[in-house]
A and B are shown apart, each in its own frame.
Chain A
């Protein structure tokens, strides 16, 4: 569930958008769409998708799989269910609307994986946290198959999975246009109160007193180098 900032970003946004023709907006819209793609775990995917379709999205607004049905799933299938379906309504101001030139920005937070209208329920969060080690293993396996979907990124944030920093860095090397991987690395460093990162201008901009959920820094090579260097160092220190 997420996010928006304005004050710090407004002047930057304005300056950019005046020079941003429709073509640039189109590229930004394409990037926005790409960054909202989810990873579909392969574990029982068809079965889980079928179960989700059977949840009645009618006037009752029932978004939950019956507990009995959920409990009957294998662990891996439960993981798939949680990864592709949010059971609970999301807050109404959590939306991260598409902006111009998104492809050139590293935001402070990632968008919500489920279209800003739903999030993981307490039950789903409990599944992730209570099975942290096994879930991280499945996330790692899914990350190797291609783009790191927004759901995997959200789960990494929820689990504070510093163990996956090397995997995230490797994924970024394969797809350097995915600036949200940078965001996840920043969040792991922020949540870990990693002092070297906290002393950087990037941290101050993204998470300082004037920051918000839509604050960003430019996705420049120098900014990426700082983030990657600090993230590697955090990963190393976490192993000790």
Chain B
């Protein structure tokens, strides 16, 4: 039976269909990125300069890891996340100055925007947030997966494109592909795309390779470092989030690389995973 399952997985990969794996019962799909040489980077960025990378094949999740999936991990392991332990998750509420967040001791992945803004009811298929890089690694260890490297994420995101976005250079199309912030500032709520905070994974159009929410919704943790890193406590994430607007942050593109303390928990921070085994 195991052999049959492996054969099925291999067959699916060859056919380019999605492969379910254990511990990812919902939205448990992966997309095969084939080995090859890919152009990544951006002119003018010293931390991510234009270059060609030789990439091995890997399978990356179609969706960000959801609350449902993270809940299964916590239930199985009893994991206490950094924010639950330290009561220092950073959350957002409309009215704050640009880039200003508030530390909310009641916030954690269970109450991603703080206790006063609700729990996960109705949000099982939203991306998990208010977890740290350290928490994401713990999940990966349990699930038998890993985070994508910075280069892997970009190759998967670009889907063979060399433009700023996988849909070209016209930023106005971002609305079709990403849950982001459309207000000029963050003083008033923005529901113009249907969501102020996170959206259910897969609510917007995917990239050409079938990966959803590569831009917006939540920043996605990646492994690896950039040249300007000064501290070992730094981790990186990519793709922008529901908070990001064209006037502030605007990391919802193929080349920018976010940075945070590896124990910091933000309500716009999540992750997607990569299968460890290469096919």
Contacts and interface: CB of A to CB of B under 8 A. Distances in A.
Interface of A: 1-7, 10, 13-14, 16-18, 20, 25, 28-29, 32, 57, 59-62, 88-95, 97-100, 115-118, 121-122, 209-213
B164 interface: yes
Given A1-B100, A4-B250, A212-B246, A92 B46 contact: no
B43 A14 contact: yes
A55 to B, nearest CB: 13
B260 to A, nearest CB: 4
A209 B185 CA distance: 10
Given A13-B44, A97-B45, A97-B48, A117 B259 contact: yes
Contacts of B45: 97-99
Contacts of B169: 10
Interface string B65-79: 000000000000000
B259 A116 contact: yes
B43 A1 contact: no
Contacts of A100: 43-44, 46
B198 interface: no
B103 interface: yes
Prevailing SS type, chain A contact patch:
loop
A92 B82 contact: no
19 contacts: A1-B99, A2-B99, A4-B251, A4-B256, A6-B171, A17-B43, A25-B46, A61-B88, A62-B86, A88-B90, A88-B103, A89-B90, A91-B266, A92-B266, A92-B269, A97-B48, A100-B43, A115-B230, A211-B247
A98 B256 CA distance: 11
Nearest to B48: A97
Interface string B28-48: 000000000000000111111
A61 B82 contact: yes
Prevailing SS type, chain B contact patch:
loop
B259 A92 contact: yes
B264 A93 contact: no
A44 to B, nearest CB: 25
A6 B253 contact: yes
Nearest to B88: A61
A117 B228 CA distance: 13
A4 B249 contact: yes
Contacts of B99: 1-3, 90-91, 94, 213
Nearest to B184: A209
A16 B44 contact: yes
Interface in B223-279: 226, 228, 230-231, 233-234, 237, 240-241, 243-244, 246-251, 253, 256-261, 263-266, 268-269
Nearest to A208: B247
Contact of A89 (B44, B241, B260): B260
A92 B184 contact: no
B101 interface: yes
Nearest to B226: A97
B263 A59 contact: yes
A91 B257 CA distance: 13
B219 interface: yes
Nearest to A215: B247
B218 to A, nearest CB: 10
